[in-house]
């Protein structure tokens, strides 16, 4: 979870948001629960509330963000699947919930592929490989060369986090050695990076940017398919000579699989309109997150592509969270 994102969005949320007219008719057309699988104040919660304030127009039906934190998002997912599939219950999802979980857990009480459908995309969070400024590793090429001689240490906020998965993919694609050092959250990761206790760290754009703009860290590469808008001078892994190495954190909105195509389209249109509203665009600009207006079909294609990369990788690495 992204500590700097939490601070920036909490500040932004103090300003009243204008509620633009959502072009699609009648969603939400009844009281709606927006289920979040993480605690209040986290990145998912804050993005959900940012969108909720736009959707819940004065005089319209209420949209209530409900936090149901649990490992793997299981409790929130079960709550949505137990409700109607008419758009009155939506689930805030991310990479882990839609893609990683079936490979990480042997006994999920549901199957995301069978039971959920992604209705809308919210935003991507580009990742960076960071080193401290005084590190002898001043480029990705130097990182690759050093890691070919002996294992380097890299920090992430958790085992099986998108940050962890991104570096493991890079390790395999680039052919060097790194040892994972998992922490509990990004603040500890960045503290130990700056203190020199690890060779490098994987950080999302919201946490990386303050360090980069103040000279407290150097970014060697980003994992995106394109350069991050917030840090356009940082090369992608592909540009650095590592093809097929694309990884982002991302968030979206899912509904039960039984939801009608019409309901999915209405939710998609409303979320896209909310994400393009001036206040949300302004808040996104403070975080470095990158919104993208994906259709329902494009969301399904995203999940297919992600499944093809990450589930085999997780299984090959032998990572399990319910062992």
- Reported as a pLDDT band with limits 50, 70 and 90, residue 171 is very high
Q: Which residues, 6 or more positions from 238, have their beta carbon under 8 angstroms from its beta carbon?
A: 225, 245, 246
Q: For 295-317, what is the mean pLDDT?
A: 97
pLDDT of res. 154: 98
Instruction: For residue 273, give both structure tokens.
Output: 């309109």
Q: What is the pTM of this model?
A: 0.87
Instruction: Copy the structure tokens of residue 112.
Output: 């995301």
Q: State pLDDT tens for residues 100-121.
A: 999 999 889 999 999 999 999 9
pLDDT at 13: 43
Angstrom distance (rounded) from CA 250 to CA 235: 20
The 10s digit of each residue's pLDDT in 186-224 is 999 999 999 999 999 999 999 999 999 999 999 999 999
Cβ atoms of 131 and 194 within 8 Å: the answer is no
Q: Is the pLDDT of residue 4 over 50?
A: no
Query: Distance (Å, rounded) from C-alpha 59 to C-alpha 296?
Result: 28
pLDDT of residue 8: 45
- Provide the token pair at 151: 């294992």
What pLDDT was estimated at residue 25?
52
């Amino acid at each position: 979870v992204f500590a700097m994102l939490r601070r920036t969005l909490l500040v932004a949320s103090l300003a009243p948001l204008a509620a633009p007219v959502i072009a699609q008719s009648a969603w939400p057309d009844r009281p709606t629960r927006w289920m979040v699988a993480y605690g209040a104040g986290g990145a998912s919660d804050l993005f959900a509330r940012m969108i909720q304030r736009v959707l819940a127009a004065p005089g319209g039906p209420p949209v209530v963000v409900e936090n149901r934190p649990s490992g793997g998002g299981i409790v929130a997912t079960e709550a949505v699947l137990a409700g109607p599939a008419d758009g009155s219950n939506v689930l805030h999802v991310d990479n882990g919930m839609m893609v990683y979980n079936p490979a990480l857990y042997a006994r999920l009480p549901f199957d995301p592929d069978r039971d959920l459908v992604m209705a809308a995309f919210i935003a991507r969070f580009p990742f960076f490989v960071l080193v401290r400024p005084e590190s002898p590793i001043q480029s990705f090429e130097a990182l690759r060369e050093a890691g070919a001689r002996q294992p380097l240490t890299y920090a992430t906020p958790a085992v099986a986090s998108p940050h962890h998965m991104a570096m493991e993919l890079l390790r395999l694609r680039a052919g060097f050695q790194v040892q994972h050092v998992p922490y509990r959250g990004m603040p500890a990761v960045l503290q130990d990076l700056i203190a020199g206790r690890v060779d490098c760290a994987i950080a999302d754009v919201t946490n990386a940017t303050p360090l980069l703009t103040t000279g407290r860290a150097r970014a060697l590469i980003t994992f995106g398919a394109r350069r991050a808008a917030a840090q356009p001078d940082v090369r992608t892994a592909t540009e650095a000579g590592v093809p097929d190495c694309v990884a982002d954190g991302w968030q979206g909105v899912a509904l039960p699989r039984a939801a009608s195509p019409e309901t999915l389209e209405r939710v998609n249109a409303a979320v896209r309109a909310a994400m393009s509203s001036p206040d949300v665009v302004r808040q996104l600009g403070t975080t470095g997150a990158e919104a993208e207006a994906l259709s329902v079909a494009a969301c399904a294609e995203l999940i297919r592509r992600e499944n093809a990369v990450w589930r085999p990788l997780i299984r090959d690495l032998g990572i399990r969270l319910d062992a």
